[in-house]
Amino acid sequence: MKVDAHKLGLVGGITAAIFFTAKSILLQFWPEKTIEMSAAFFHLSSFGPLTPYFDLSPQTFVSGLVQSFVCSYLFFYVLGYIFSRVYKH
């Protein structure tokens, strides 16, 4: 089965960008609960002294959005590339 690695990368990047945006919206309106939820995601009781550094400005949002998209795109592109090479049907 042939997978288009570029398309898979785009889908993965767009999905990560959507989730990043949703989490940023939650952080904007419910910062305490969002930080608590994020800590639980990483199996932590809290982020403790790091909590004051959870800042949401336009610059940090755009930077995080771009980083999420690029990292996810690269991950899914490589995944699709390897999958296509391993399963040559």
Question: What does the pLDDT look like over 11-51, one tens digit per residue?
Answer: 999 999 999 999 999 989 998 888 888 888 888 888 888 88
- Single-letter residue type at 80: G
pLDDT tens profile 63-72: 999 999 999 9
Q: Between the CA of residue 9 and those of 4, 67, 80, 85, what are the distances in Å? A: 9, 14, 8, 16
Task: Name the residue with tokens 């002294």.
Answer: 49
* 18-38 burial code (b ≥16 CB/10 A, e <16): eebeebeeebeeeeeebbbeb
Q: Give the DSSP H/E element, type plus range, for residue 50.
A: none
Instruction: State how far the Cα of 84 lies from the Cα of 18, in Å rounded to an integer.
Output: 26
Tell me what pLDDT residue 79 has. 96
Confidence of residue 89 (pLDDT cuts 50, 70, 90): low
Structure tokens at 22: 């949703």
- Domain locations in the chain? 5-86
